Structure 1
Amino acid sequence: MARVSAAALSDRRLLPEVRRVVVKVGSSSLTSPDGPLDPERLRALVDVLAARVNGGHQVVLVSSGAIATGMEPLGLARRPRDLATQQAAASVGQGLLVAHYTRAFAAHGLRVGQVLLTADDTMRRTQYRNAQRALDRLLDLGIVPIVNENDTVATDEIRFGDNDRLAALVSHLVHADAMALLTDVDGLYTGPPNREGSRRIAEVRGPKDLDGIDVTARGSGVGTGGMVTKLESVAIATASGIPVVLTSAAQVAPALEGADVGTWFAATGRRASTRLLWLAYAARTRGRLVLDDGAVRAVVERGKSLLPAGVTAVEGEFEAGDPVEIAGADGTVVARGLVAYSAQEAPALLGRTTAELRADLGEGYDRELVHRDDLVLVRRRR
């Protein structure tokens, strides 16, 4: 089978030819109207994905649903609100959820492997690389990885994101050719789907195509992610060269066949190095460097390294090599980078040229505060 890479995938009609796809399914797509897991919905999804795998493709499934699956055994009528009960439900439900997937894929002669991740696994460089190697090996062995957040020990991520952001990071981590986000609506609409006059948006080529689009409507009561988190996930994937199709689980088959269903998001950037994507989206920053206007222009417009002369303040506690935010005087975060000095060393260097530092402190103190190779541009208000 000829493989179409993400870089060449400018048209959704080429989706049937790509080799590796990450598919994310939310809790609301796997549950019955009153909350518990619906095995029939799960099997219907697996039937489609198994057919693709048996056709010579590779699929990584990022699946929510552990908490929803644990609700019935615990006698819970609705999704719990407190963190401890959510963790308990996830602990009970995760094994049951994977058991359902194991049986459903086994009916097609396929095996699955469970991969549980927390935000720390994508924030810490060593764990990120370990996860990457494990997923690649599972795919090489013909196993379908079932990825979920480790909700039993997770904290903030158990309540926000619903695996959407994780799916985008996993897509880059495994060098996916495309990503499919499956939800309980059949695509992105110009307004709430049930509002008269709202229309499905078939294709998005860039951020300007989303101007004026209302995505603030709440999601279902079982899952936690709404359209806002899905568009954040889309932005991560497309900015790093991975196109996305967003649609309902009921339309996954035609979507993966390249039909005009759901919403197609074209890639807007090139695939970044794993290290830079980790730095941009997954690394937990330890502090902040505040820049004067000239340094902001040098970093953002001219692609320069960050020198001590352009830094006016240091915030936070960090060691050399830690990720830090790089911000302008007005609080706008313009970049992230790996800082070359600790928070204790850096203040003595601020506002001084490399020549002055070399003369006063000796060799080794005339290097960049953040080298260009260890820096990635972002845009976010404080």
Structure 2
Amino acid sequence: MSDTRGVIASARSIVVKIGSSAITSLAGGLDRERLDQLVDAIEGRMRAGSNVTVVSSGAVGAGLAPLGLTSRPRDLATKQAAASVGQLALAHAWGTSFARYDRTVGQVLLTADDIARRTQHRNAQRTLDRLRSLGAVPVVNENDTVATVELRFGDNDRLAALVSHLTSADALVLLSDVDGLYDGDPRKGGANLIPEVTSPEDLDGVVAGSGGALGTGGMATKLSAARLAADSGVPVLLAAASDAARALSAADVGTAFAARPERMSARHFWVRHAADTVGTLHLDAGAVRAVVDRRRSLLAAGVTGMSGGFHAGDVVALVGPDERTVARGVVAYEPSELDFMIGFSTRQLPQDLQRPVVHADDLVRI
């Protein structure tokens, strides 16, 4: 067994993401038998000593049959209507299945805004931590009933990667209808399973496709989520839901993604992956070198301009003279203050404006 698979197999805290196709069908909605099998596998992992947070897709899929819909809707209003019906059924199904083991389930519905805004981010983190400390199993889903296009995660694979860092998980397991990452489309033949990804070079030539009839994701989103989690320091296992028992015990199936050696701090992860950028600071070449090469704070002297409706405390993009984004960071000033400061050295500014525009501790290089 590789070191990565060993870490996943022995992880004390894991996030398990369940794809829509694993627990729903177009004809019958929720498949209770398959959901029970997944809960059996999760329970086995919990009895082995791990705490588990579930990220469950399937709300829209679970709402199709009760509403007489025969295909996944494309318009937002119908998707939200299906989700409003399906979320009730999905939460009840998870609760009923875990009740066989006398376990309580807590539903946590999130929007991208809950992760992007630091206050909501912390609140979500506290809620998940408290549920686990009370012995409940958190079941997380995107709040499809209220999420708009602008406020969506895009898919639950990305949500699972964000939750894995939010909960300080030791591993992330992505379970769906695919049994791993291939170097081509396995449905067309001739494709080879990639058992482990240890560096970006292992992905050279890999072509990832889009999702199926029930889900919004696909191999492309799973690959993106796995790389996001691994980059933050969380190892990932991508496997078929039908192999859940092995994935959640020996971790000897699917594709394993090795994590970066050092775990990214919660604040740096939020700045880089979770928060939305709401403005841009334009830097001269000297400031780019200071920020990127020497890992220094951004000072007013190196700022040449700004754009966007940001406020102090927001995350902004730092852009070089070639208009390429080189970093993201938390800006310390209001635009009205920066307008006065731009281009001046620190010693030329009043005492209350001598702090860095973006402190090195609040800055992440891209």
User: Aligning the two structures, in what range does the TM-score lie when normalised by the shorter sequence?
Assistant: over 0.9
Which residue in the other structure is 2:217 paired with? 225
**Per-residue CA shift, 1:258-293, capped at 9, x if unaligned?**
343110000024222212211111112220001122
CA–CA distance in structure 1, aligned partners of residues 233 and 51 of structure 2: 18
CA distance in 2, matches of 1:376, 1:332: 15
Shift of 1:332: 1.6
Deviation (angstroms), 1:162 = 2.0
1:308 aligns with 2:300: yes
Question: Does 2:123 align with 1:121?
Answer: no
CA contact 1:238–1:269 (8 Å) conserved in 2: no
Out of 368, 371, 376, the position equivalent to 2:356 is 368
Is the 1:69–1:93 Cα contact (8 Å) retained in structure 2?
yes
Query: Residue by residue, what CA displacement relative to the aligned partner does 1:8-63 show, whole Å, maximum 9, x if unpaired?
Result: x9430343322111000111121236472222211111111112223322110000
| CA distance in structure 1 between the aligned counterparts of 2:231 and 2:152, rounded to whole angstroms | 25
Q: What is the match of residue 271 of structure 2? A: 279
Which of 246, 254, 260 is residue 268 of structure 1 equivalent to?
260
Q: Which amino acid aligns with 1:66?
A: A
Aligned to 2:137: 144
* Match runs of 1:156-175 below 5 Å: 156=149, 161-175=154-168
Aligned counterpart, 1:5: none
Deviates more, 1:9-18 or 1:144-153: 9-18
Instruction: Indicate if the aligned counterparts of 1:159 and 1:224 stay in contact, CA closer than 8 A.
Output: no
Deviation at 1:101, TM superposition (A): 0.8
Secondary structure (helix, strand or coil) at the match of 1:344 reads helix
Separation of aligned partners in 2, 1:147 and 1:80: 22
Q: C-alpha displacement at 1:116, in angstroms?
A: 0.7
- 8 A contact 2:111–2:152 mirrored in 1: no
CA distance in 2, matches of 1:213, 1:305: 37
Could you say if the C-alpha distance between residues 11 and 317 of structure 1 is closer, same or farther in structure 2, counting changes exceeding 3 Å? closer
Look up the match of 1:237.
229
Distance 1:269 1:123 in 2: 25
Equivalent position amino acid for 1:24 in 2:
K
Post-superposition Cα deviations, 1:211-248, rounded to whole Å, max 9, x if no partner, equal 11111x22211100112211221122111111000011
- 322, 336, 349: which one pairs with 1:344? 336
Aligned to 2:189: 196
Seq. identity, %: 56
Judge conservation of contact 1:202–1:260 (CA < 8 Å) in 2.
Answer: no
Shift of 1:294: 1.7
> Given the alignment of the two structures, is residue 73 of structure 1 paired with residue 66 of structure 2, yes or no?
yes
| C-alpha distance 158-164 of structure 1, shift in aligned 2 (>3 A) | farther
Rate the CA distance shift 1:99–1:23 in 2: closer, same or farther, 3 A: same
Letter in 2 for 1:302: R
What one-letter code is carried by the residue in structure 1 that aligns with 2:181? Answer: L
Q: Partners in 1 of 2:284 and 2:348 — Cα distance?
A: 19
Shift of 1:195: 2.3
- CA distance in 2: counterparts of 1:61 and 1:133, whole angstroms: 16
Q: Secondary structure at the match of 2:25?
A: coil
The whole-number CA distance in structure 2 between the counterparts of 1:157 and 1:261 is 36
Q: Which residue of 2 aligns with 1:6?
A: none
CA contact (8 A) 2:284 2:320 kept: yes
The residue type paired with residue 142 of structure 2 is: E
CA displacement at 1:376 relative to structure 2: 1.1
Question: What residue is the counterpart of 1:353 in the other structure?
Answer: 345
Instruction: String of CA shifts for 1:108-141, please: whole Å, max 9, x gaps.
Output: 2211111111111111111111111111111112
Q: Does residue 318 of the first structure (1) align with residue 306 of the second (2)? A: no
Q: Which runs of 5+ in 1 are unaligned?
A: 1-8
Q: Distance between the aligned counterparts of 2:361 and 2:69, measured in 1?
A: 51
Q: CA separation in 1, counterparts of 2:314 and 2:268?
A: 14
Amino acid at match of 2:359: H
| CA drift at 1:355 | 2.0
Instruction: Check the 8 A contact 1:323/1:339 in 2, yes or no.
Output: yes
The answer as to whether partners of 1:206 and 1:268 remain within 8 angstroms in 2 is: no
Return the alpha-carbon distance in structure 2 between the equivalents of residues 262 and 43 of structure 1: 21
Q: Does 1:25 align with 2:18?
A: yes
Cα root mean square deviation, aligned: 1.7
The structural deviation recorded for 1:257 is 2.1
Paired AA for residue 215 in structure 2: G
SS of equivalent to 2:30? coil
Matches within 5 A, 1:50-69: 50-69=43-62
